[in-house]
Amino acid sequence: MTPTPRMLNIGCGRRFHPSWVNVDIAPHDPSVMHADVSQGIPFPDHHFDVVYHSHMIEHMRVDDVQRFLGDCLRVLKRGGIMRVATPDLERLCAAYLERLRANATADHEWLVIELLDQTVRERSGGAMLEYLRRDPLPNEAFVLERIGEEGRELLAAIRGAVPSAAPTPRRGLRRRLKDALVTRWYGADALLAMQIGRFRLSGEAHQWLYDQLSLKRVLAAAGFCDPAVRAAGDSAIAGWREFFLEITPAGDVIKPDSMFMEARKPA
- The confidence score (pLDDT) of residue 165 equals 41
Alpha carbon distances (Å) from 242 to 26, 229, 233: 25, 20, 9
Cα separation of 64 and 67, whole Å? 5
Whether residue 98 sits in one domain with residue 83: no
Least confident of 28-42, 144-158, 204-218, 227-241: 144-158
Question: From the CA atom positions of the chain, what is the Rg in Å?
Answer: 20
Q: Given a cut of 70, is residue 187 above it in pLDDT? A: yes
| Same structural domain, 82 and 119 | no
Residue 181 lies inside a defined structural domain of this protein: yes
Residue 247's pLDDT band (cuts 50, 70, 90): very high
Is residue 67 domain-shared with residue 99, that is, in the same domain?
Answer: no
Q: Does 168 score more than 80 pLDDT?
A: no
* Residues 172 and 77 grouped into a single domain: no
pTM: 0.88
146 and 220, same domain (yes or no): no
In a domain, 131, yes or no: yes
Domain assignment of residue 1, yes or no: no
pLDDT of residue 37: 94
Give per-residue pLDDT as tens, 12-61.
999 999 999 999 999 999 999 999 998 999 999 999 999 999 999 999 99
Residue partners of 203: CB distance under 8 A and separation at least 6: 25, 59
Tell me which DSSP letter residue 248 carries: -
Given a cut of 60, whether residue 169 has pLDDT beyond it is: no
Do 78 and 97 lie in one domain? The reply is: no
The CATH number given to whatever domain includes residue 238 is 3.40.50.150
58: Cβ–Cβ under 8 A, 6 or more apart, which residues?
86, 87, 206, 207, 208, 209, 210
Domain holding 179, by residue range, is 90-200
Q: What is the 3-state secondary structure (H, E, C) of 171-228?
A: CCHHHHHHHHHHHHHHCHHHHHHHHHHHHHCCCCCCCCCECHHHHHHHHHHHCCEEEE
Q: Do 228 and 177 belong to one domain?
A: no
Domain annotation covers residue 215 = yes
> Residue 102: its pLDDT value, please?
97
How many structural domains comprise the chain? 2
Judge whether 205 lies within some domain. no
Tell me, yes or no, whether 137 and 237 share the same domain. no
Q: d(Cα 13, Cα 32) in Å, to the nearest integer?
A: 9
